[in-house]
Amino acid sequence: MAEAEDQGAGVSPPPALYLMPYNDAARRATNDPNNAHFLAQMDNGAYALYISFANPDKQVCTLGRAGCDIFLPDPKGADISKHQCSFINTEQWAVLLEDTSRHKNTEPCPSANGGQTISFTRETRRVLVARGINNMIGIGRDRYYKFEIYWESDCLYEFLKRDGNYRTGPQEARRKRYIEGEKVGGGSFGSVWRVMDVHTGGLMAVKKFHNMDGRNLEFATREITNLFRINRTSLIHHDHILEILDCAGGGKDDNWGEIFMPLKPGNLKMLALDTSTTVDVEELAHAVLHQMLLALACIAKHKIVHRDLKPENVLWEYNDEGEYHFRLGDFGQSNNPDIAMTVTGTEPFMAPEVYNRGKQTDKVDIWSLFATIVWVKNTGNFRLRCAEPRAHIIHGWLVEYSMLPEFRRIRRMASMRAKDRPSAERLLRILATDEVEDMADSLANALTLDPTGEDEDDAGIGPSQGPGFAYYEPYRPNVPENYVWESEGDEEAGEASNTYRPPPMGASPRVGGAGLMDEAYVKPYDQIYDDPNSGTAVPDVRTARRAGSQEMNEPAAAHEAHPQARKSGKGKKKKG
């Protein structure tokens, strides 16, 4: 067969397959004169029915007892429908078997030659057929006709693994949902993969959580719950927030979980750093600002604070007019602002009150969005400058940048005090008019203000209090090979070790502001931030946790948005 030669030559021939008769009934159908124009001899000398999608105007091949491409006789007891089934070639060159029979009696079945068998679902009577997947089909009552499928070309080369096979998932689940492609992103709690839906042939993204214990369970549950709250009906779904299609795993006996999302071309960071395109950063920043404010206004109404808004968590696609359309994704750090206390996020985009362990509100995301806009515009060479300094220094720069004329209408987004920042709705009104949101007080003194935005007699967590653990990493866009987080050895002699080390116990990792507790372990950002696949910046090794943390023990009401998860065990988290 020519498949290996074509693939090796870099040619992608259209899908082509042989229906090899497996039983006597199938052999009689193969030799029927009505099917003579499909009859072909295989390399092993056997005769089979040959189906090719080389003709662009003929991408469906039908089988049945009347008016179909391939004729299947209907002797007594076979129950063959007029239009029994079809092979359909999709836009992604995935061939689907569709059952259109009246008795629903077309089905994939196990093959003696091995391979995986993936059945139809109740929702759709379509399923992928590919090399090593659904190698045999039964047609009619009691599988009256049985054919094995041999491929000349199945065209799914980009999904092949090194061993030449397709990997299906979810790995631990009985019901397989996809064939796995390449990894397109990842973080400390999960990785994102490009996959093909085995029931539609469409592409989608799957976020796989590394495991479902401890913090992984909490963050996975939180992301699923909050996305379902926003996407559960078409009336609530927001055009600038990433949809969630479904989830799997997460039951009480599962140590795995996955969420399924639409696949987007890339994220904002990849777009801004792409040197092959001529993107106008001013227009890009304006579009991101407006569309992300719409997203933030929506989640604020749902009492959700995102807490990790940054370029790689803003996904893009083209709309019908060919313009950039942005969606906010990765809700793993999101929470109800009434109980959000954890130091979490990525330093250049982290609001002062989060870094200083103050009260968190929806204004946290307003600060992060301003930092994201500065990053997109690369004001003051911000992308490089924010690599090594700690967050409190970066806060000062962002305040200074906000005083530039280009930020005059939105400069209050960079107010050190959260209560001085406008809400997303307020900013949208400002952008829709010629109004300017000037600071009532001089921003030159902003760094001396209480970053929590609270009065001294206000109750709540202040900058010197808070839970005993932090979940953030510094941001490093260009780490040289010899960069040392904490040197060991003689640097002048070139004998310093090239390793990252945690800050000494009991030492504050920053100058100014409140230090972390003695148990704090702040892991440096190991991956270069210019890598578009770098994910949510949360260390794998977390800091010590103080007993009774409110954020670790969220009310059960936070999971009411997905009742099915409660019944099946999905979304449950362990106490303590």
Residue positions forming the annotated binding site for ATP = 208
* The two structure tokens encoding residue 573: 């988290």
Strand 343-346 relative to strand 70-71: parallel, antiparallel, unpaired? unpaired
From the DSSP assignment, how many helices (H) and strands (E) are in the chain? Answer: 11, 22
DSSP codes joined into one string, 66-117: SSSSEE----TT----SS-EEEEE-TTS-EEEEE--TT--EEEE--TT--B-
Cα separation, 238 vs 326, in Å, equals 11
Cα separation, 474 vs 212, in Å, equals 25
Distances (CA, A) of 183 to 92, 125, 245, 331, 362: 18, 29, 19, 19, 32
Alpha helices in 302-390 (DSSP H): 352-355, 363-377, 382-385
* Of 67, 89, 75, the residue nearest 26 (C-alpha): 75
Distances (CA, A) of 14 to 79, 272, 313, 334, 335: 33, 35, 36, 45, 48
Q: Which residues are annotated as a binding site?
A: 208
Strand 470-473 relative to strand 178-186: parallel, antiparallel, unpaired? unpaired
Q: Diameter of the chain by CA atoms? A: 92
Q: Residue 253 burial (CB < 10 Å; 0-12/13-18/19+)?
A: exposed
CB atoms within 10 A of CB 107: 20
Distances (CA, A) of 559 to 225, 234, 238: 6, 20, 20
Cα separation, 243 vs 229, in Å, equals 11
377 in Cβ contact with 282 (< 8 Å): yes
* The two structure tokens encoding residue 213: 């214990």
Cα separation, 51 vs 16, in Å, equals 6
CB atoms within 10 A of CB 408: 12
Q: How far is CA 244 from the centre of its chain?
A: 9
